[in-house]
Structure 1
Amino acid sequence: MTTDDVLVFGGSGSPRLTAAICDYLQIAQGAGEVLRFKEGNLFPRILDNVRGREVYIVQSTVFPANDHFMELLFWLDAFTRASAQSVTAVVPYFSYAQGDKKDEPRVSIRARVCADAIEAAGADRMVTLDLHAPQIQGFFTVPVDDLHALPSLAGEIERLELDDMVIVAPDAGYAKTARRYARYLGVPLAIGDKERAAHDDHAEIIDLIGDVEGRSAVIVDDFSISAQTMVGMATELDRRGAKEVVAALAHGVFAEPAMERIDASPLTRVVTTDSVENQPVVFSDKVHVVSVAPLFGEAIRRIHNRESISVLFPM
């Protein structure tokens, strides 16, 4: 691939991941800048000619979520108005994916609102990673490729050479994905039962289905912000006799006081991806980051070449 074929731009939410994707594709990164005015307005500006080109804009929408989401919309609109042939939104971490349903009166389905906005701003396609709820793909009328971090994370787990491993889903809602990890690694599965009474960080671990005593337990989840649920599950696994407790997260969102909780917990290692790169915390030595740049780079290459991307999805 050359810059004559495709242009990959990075928003201010994903500069390092964008550079790594371009390195994988062996292309120069598209030139652009974001000006920030004193009252808070954002002004993304394209510095390359994109007329008739296939454009990909890489932007995670977190820290701060609203600013980076609005910046994404402005980029999409700018590329469309600059006559790009097609514009693909590459959103490694889609912040509002948790708002996927109306589960109480008088609330917004926030993920649907964001999906509508992304399409209205000019996106012809969406590429993302481990959506919190896979049904969010149905909120879009444009194609959505929901990639999976499983092979990247499972490869790192295998390198740890853990004895007598068991995969642990933190709740029943993540059991289906956790079962894919267990099948991929050829190990058994345990499932936690948790209850969250309010819209906060606190979730109580009620029960655990499966045997973890004397085993190396690997908690798998799509994301963690405060680390409270992950640490609560790790503590319960330790109480039930797990020999070692490790966690693998598709998105290490991590706000305060996540690192303090991880350091004080029985967790020996937390493996995550670089889908989020501007966390407001300094990572603990227990946290290890694996890059998903090759995954996104290969997806972009295959989309551009009109090739199937099904080989990127674990069975």
Structure 2
Amino acid sequence: MNDDPIMVFAGSGSPRLTARICEYLQIPQGKNETLRFSDGNTFVRILENVRGRRVYVVQTTVFPANDNFMELLFWIDALKRAGAESVTVVIPYFSYAKGDKKDEPRVSIRARVCADAIEVAGADRVVTMDLHAPQIQGFFHKPVDNLYALPIIGECIKGMHLQDIVIVSPDVGFAKQARRYASYLGASIALADKERTGHDEKAVILQIIGDVKGKTAVVVDDFTISGGTLADVSTKLIEQGAREVYAAVTHGVLAQGSIEKIDRSPIKQLLITDTVENQPVQFSDKIKVVSVASLFAEAIKRIHNRESISEMFR
């Protein structure tokens, strides 16, 4: 490892997370710069020698999603053209993962288009966290490591010393991962029956399946954008007799208006991670951010030393 020190570069979407990753690895951050011109074009430049090196670039892809995704492609291309032996792309939040299927006529499978673009740009490996649809790993021909925030969020929930917990999945899609949370915390599980009819980020909570009466409900999910589902599920849980409601999501995307919905809801506290760090909103006291830098740093170190990543989650 001393003969091939780890080089980690930050895209403009993840400066603070990258700094924490480098701090954990006890390495200096790679020198680079991003410029944005008045016509909207993005320009990236590596400011040190990467020839023959195995390098890592960290870039989340939201706020603004398209600009950050294009910047990521430019970083991959710049590093490969500068002679890097391999480029591992660390995408803390892969925003287009929601577009994982053709579920109506004449629409794009956006996640597949993004996967193709990342590979064509020259990426050799992808590291991400809590993909909205795990099958997206199959969209890539290159290795994809999908990390889980569960160990970090799970320990944070344990540290809150909540009594008589029931883990609640806000829909069927997250039920499998919710079951892992329940197992990790030794808790029971319940499921919200949700119906979504359009593309307006609104869903109707029909019912809660499972026993929540007198319990402390913890709603878990991979991301929240509008805060609407979390607010609606928490209200339904209180109606069905839950004593208190907390929530924990990996990706706190949190668009305009989301904080107001969460503040008006019965949620006592919302845990999010730092996979997204450039939200256009001011957090309230209900939001608590926990860092997943150690997980990404450990994954980078294991990839660099050709060690198993799955061992991290056993």
Shorter-chain TM-score bucket reads over 0.9
- Per-residue deviation, 1:313: 2.4
In structure 2, what is the Cα distance between the partners aligned to 1:47 and 1:228?
Answer: 43
2:207 and 2:236 in contact (8 A); partners too: no
Q: Indicate yes or no: 2:84 matched with 1:84.
A: yes
Q: Secondary structure at the match of 1:44?
A: strand
Aligned partner of 2:57: which letter?
I
Cα shift at 1:289: 0.6
Which aligned runs of 4 or more in structure 1 are off by greater than 6 angstroms?
A: none
Q: 2:21·2:293 contact (CA, 8 Å) conserved in 1?
A: yes
CA distance in 1, matches of 2:91, 2:3: 21
2:73 matched to 1:73? yes
Letter in 1 for 2:282: V
Give TM-score, length-normalised by structure 2.
0.99
Conserved 8 A contact 1:3-1:27: no
Please, which moves more after superposition, 305-314 or 241-250?
305-314
Q: Report the Cα distance in structure 2 between the residues aligned to 1:293 and 1:75, rounded to whole angstroms.
A: 21
CA contact (8 A) 1:98 1:132 kept: yes
In structure 2, what is the Cα distance between the partners aligned to 1:144 and 1:228? 31
State how far apart, in whole Å, the 2-side matches of 1:158 and 1:187 are: 11
- 1:168-218 Cα shifts (integer Å, max 9, x gaps): 000111111100100111110001100001011210011111010110000
Q: Report the AA paired with residue 197 of structure 2.
A: A
Matches within 5 A, 1:127-142: 127-142=127-142
| Equivalent position amino acid for 2:308 in 1 | S
Shift of 1:312: 1.9
Matched length: 314
Residue 45 of structure 1 deviates from its aligned partner by 0.3
2:71 maps to a residue whose letter is E
Take 2:59 and 2:71, find their aligned partners in 1: how far apart are those partners?
Answer: 9
Give the 3 Å change call, closer, same or farther, for CA 172–222 of structure 1 in structure 2.
Answer: same
CA contact (8 A) 2:87 2:123 kept: yes
In the other structure, the counterpart of 1:107 is: 107
Does the residue aligned with 2:111 lie in a helix, a strand or coil?
A: helix
1: CA distance, partners of 2:232 / 2:304: 43
- The match for 1:234 is 234
Structure 1 position 299, deviation (Å): 0.3
Structure 1 residues 139, 240: closer, same or farther in 2, change over 3 A? same
Change in 2 beyond 3 A, CA 1:271/1:79: same
Question: How do 1:130-279 residues align onto structure 2 when only pairs under 5 Å count?
Answer: 130-279=130-279
C-alpha distance in 2 between matches for 1:3 and 1:17: 26
The answer for unaligned runs of 5 or more in structure 2 is none
Structure 1: unaligned runs, 5 residues or longer: none
Q: Partners of 1:273 and 1:263 in 2: how far apart?
A: 18
**Structure 1 CA distance for aligned equivalents of residues 284 and 104 of structure 2:** 37
What is residue 41 of structure 1 aligned with on the other side? 41
Which residue of 2 is the match for residue 285 of structure 1?
Answer: 285
The CA RMSD over aligned residues, in Å, is 0.9
Q: Which amino acid aligns with 2:147?
A: L
1:239 is aligned with what amino acid? E
In structure 1, give the amino acid aligned to 2:27. Answer: I
Identical counterparts, % of pairs: 66
- 1:254 partner amino acid: L
Encode CA deviations 1:201-255: one digit per residue, 9 max, x unaligned.
2100111110101100000000000000110000000111111100010100001
